[in-house]
Amino acid sequence: MVKICCIGAGYVGGPTMAVIALKCPDIEVVVVDISEPRIAGWNSDRLPIYEPGLDDVVRQCRGRNLSFSTEVHRHVSDADIVFVSVNTPTKTCGLGAGKAADLTYWESAARMIADVSVSDKIVVEKSTVPVKTAEAIEKILSHNTHRRSHGVRYQILSNPEFLAEGTAVADLLSPDRVLIGGRTDTPAGLAAVAALRDVYARWVPPDRILTTNLWSAELSKLAANAFLAQRISSVNAISALCEATGADVAEVAHSVGKDARIGPRFLSASVGFGGSCFQKDILNLVYICECYGLPEVASYWREVIRINDYQKGRFVNRVVASMFNTVAGKKVAVLGFAFKKDTGDTRETPAIDVCKGLLGDKAAVSIYDPQVAGEQVARDLAMNKFDWDHPRHLQPIIITGTDVARQVAVAADAYEAAAEAHAVCILTEWDEFRGLDYKRMFDAMHKPAFIFDGRNVVDVAKLREIGFVVYSIGKPLDE
């Protein structure tokens, strides 16, 4: 029986391994992590991450051919294929701070693999890593001089993950493509690629499994995220022009997307992109371009982040300016805190910047999100954001723990958040926000009652009929 071990039981490692276990009942899959609470969560009825359909998949496989464990060394040692899906955040200090990927976790995982291995292994880069990381990993593994592991051979593959949070299970079950990069110029490299291809071939059609050299696979992941983020920044940049001219961004995006060369997906204007990947991966791309002496290419991609920051700042400014140039002492209901719907993930969510902007102007903020717990909100808002070295339109605002406690409340539902509020800001496109009883909310709010829709989920005409003053990203403004 082939044995797979995945190091890192996070948003990627957990769902990816659950789907592999589901589709390959003859393969034993173990997901290991150094975090005890995370593993305890995976072994409980309340999984540590929220993803539609994930509970079901885990329930079917756990105890059969899927397990979760903190016994990292034992399971890595036993495995034939070791996926590494640890976090690769942006470095916060030292060389490349604010841009380069922090590969500390990756390096320690590689050293650990080298220390505990007594049999040949295929090591799979599942984390998003800078192009050429496999070269460093090969060095770490080949220079290992540990007595037990003497003579062990490793093949490194790059198999970046393209799932999107919120649709992770569906994406894994039916991926647009699976990308496998390897040393395709050597027989051992080809055999390793074939072994991983065999795993995915159980459910992914052959024409969707792409094989490339290592560097193409590593760079494809960074490029894909940069292109996706660029699309959002492009439509967001157009949204500002729409508001200035009376055009409607939804109509413009629809018309633009009808061009088969452009396509309709990923063209929704919003308060900005978030999540743990887009900004981090573009910053990393910028850093790599600078390291390779390509400053023009670096500045091209940096603009994508600059527009994203601009969009978040523009939203906050719009709220404050509309409310007679101050939100001091006013209650603002924030609906949605996760960076997108169908996830509880708040990493780099635009809601953090928007809330900090409002708190900085002394608003009282009441937050409701169906999947984000109050402690998480408090942690996110108390955190001092790293001061990136690219131009920012949002001044970094330092919110202390005391300010958070005084100015931030977490509500049990949208109505509680909006009660006696002066304004409602919609920051995540949760489906439930489309069907709220806005008349009920309006009746419980101070007048004039404002709605600032950062995701274009509400029916602007209906809300104006109720009496709201409505601002919706990229839509013609209220008279």
Q: Find out whether 165 is annotated in a ligand binding site.
A: yes
88 binds ligand NAD (CB under 6 A): yes
Pick from 7, 66, 114, 451: which binds ligand NAD (CB under 6 A)? 7
Which residue, chain included where needed, has tokens 């993950």? 161
Q: Find out whether 72 is annotated in a ligand binding site.
A: no
Q: In terms of CB distance, is 165 or 453 closer to ligand NAD?
A: 165
* DSSP secondary structure letters along 31-47: EE-S-HHHHHHHTSSS-
165 binds ligand NAD (CB under 6 A): yes
16 binds ligand NAD (CB under 6 A): no
Are 462 and 371 contacting, i.e. CB atoms less than 8 angstroms apart? no
Q: In terms of CB distance, is 110 or 364 closer to ligand NAD?
A: 110
Q: In terms of CB distance, is 60 or 108 closer to ligand NAD?
A: 108
Return the number of other C-beta atoms located less than 10 Å from residue 478's C-beta: 14
Pick from 4, 5, 6, 13: which binds ligand NAD (CB under 6 A)? 13
67 binds ligand NAD (CB under 6 A): no
Residue 265 has φ and ψ, to the nearest 5°, of -80, 150
Q: In terms of CB distance, is 275 or 336 closer to ligand NAD?
A: 275
Which residue, chain included where needed, has tokens 């002492």? 329
108 binds ligand NAD (CB under 6 A): yes
Q: Find out whether 332 is annotated in a ligand binding site.
A: no
Q: Where are the beta strands (DSSP E) in 183-281?
A: 209-213
163 binds ligand NAD (CB under 6 A): yes
Q: Find out whether 31 is annotated in a ligand binding site.
A: no
* Binding pattern for the stretch 118-147 against ligand NAD, x by CB under 6 A and - elsewhere: ---------xx-------------------
Which range binds ligand NAD by CB under 6 A, 102-110, 377-385, 432-440, 444-452?
102-110
Which range binds ligand NAD by CB under 6 A, 4-12, 22-30, 209-217, 386-394?
4-12
Q: In terms of CB distance, is 78 or 416 closer to ligand NAD?
A: 78
Return the number of other C-beta atoms located less than 10 Å from residue 40's C-beta: 13
Please say whether the dihedral angle defined by the alpha carbons of residues 430, 434, 438 and 440, taken in this order, is positive or negative: negative
Count residues near ligand NAD (CB under 6 A): 27
Give kind and range of the element (H or E) at residue 245.
helix 214-245
Pick from 34, 173, 419, 477: which binds ligand NAD (CB under 6 A)? 34
Active site residues: 277
Which range binds ligand NAD by CB under 6 A, 31-39, 187-195, 249-257, 369-377?
31-39
Return the number of other C-beta atoms located less than 10 Å from residue 14's C-beta: 28
Tell me the residue number closest to ligand NAD, measured at CB. Answer: 10
72 binds ligand NAD (CB under 6 A): yes
Are 5 and 75 contacting, i.e. CB atoms less than 8 angstroms apart? yes
Burial of 78 (0-12, 13-18, 19+ CB in 10 A): middle
What's the CA dihedral at 397, 398, 404, 407 to 10 degrees? -40
- Report the distance separating Cα 8 and Cα 276, nearest Å: 15
Which range binds ligand NAD by CB under 6 A, 81-89, 313-321, 444-452, 465-473?
81-89
Note the Cα 469 to chain centre separation in Å.
Answer: 32
- Report the distance separating Cα 404 and Cα 380, nearest Å: 10
224 binds ligand NAD (CB under 6 A): no
Q: In terms of CB distance, is 37 or 187 closer to ligand NAD?
A: 37
175 binds ligand NAD (CB under 6 A): no
What is the chain's percent helix, strand, coil content, to nearest 5? 45, 15, 40
Which range binds ligand NAD by CB under 6 A, 6-14, 147-155, 229-237, 448-456?
6-14
| CB-based contacts of 285, cutoff 8 Å, min separation 6 | 222, 223, 226, 298, 301
Residue 47, sorted as left (phi over 0), alpha (psi -120 to 50) or beta, turns out to be: beta
Burial of 374 (0-12, 13-18, 19+ CB in 10 A): middle
Pick from 4, 8, 196, 285: which binds ligand NAD (CB under 6 A)? 8
Residues 246-285 that bind ligand NAD (CB under 6 A): 276-277
- Report the distance separating Cα 129 and Cα 158, nearest Å: 9
Pick from 20, 23, 33, 226: which binds ligand NAD (CB under 6 A)? 33
State the amino acid at position 364 in one-letter form.
A
**Residue ranges in contact with ligand NAD by CB under 6 A:** 7-13, 32-35, 38, 72, 85-88, 105, 108-109, 127-128, 161, 163, 165, 276-277
Annotated binding site for NAD(+): 8-13, 33, 38, 86-90, 127-128, 165, 277-280, 347
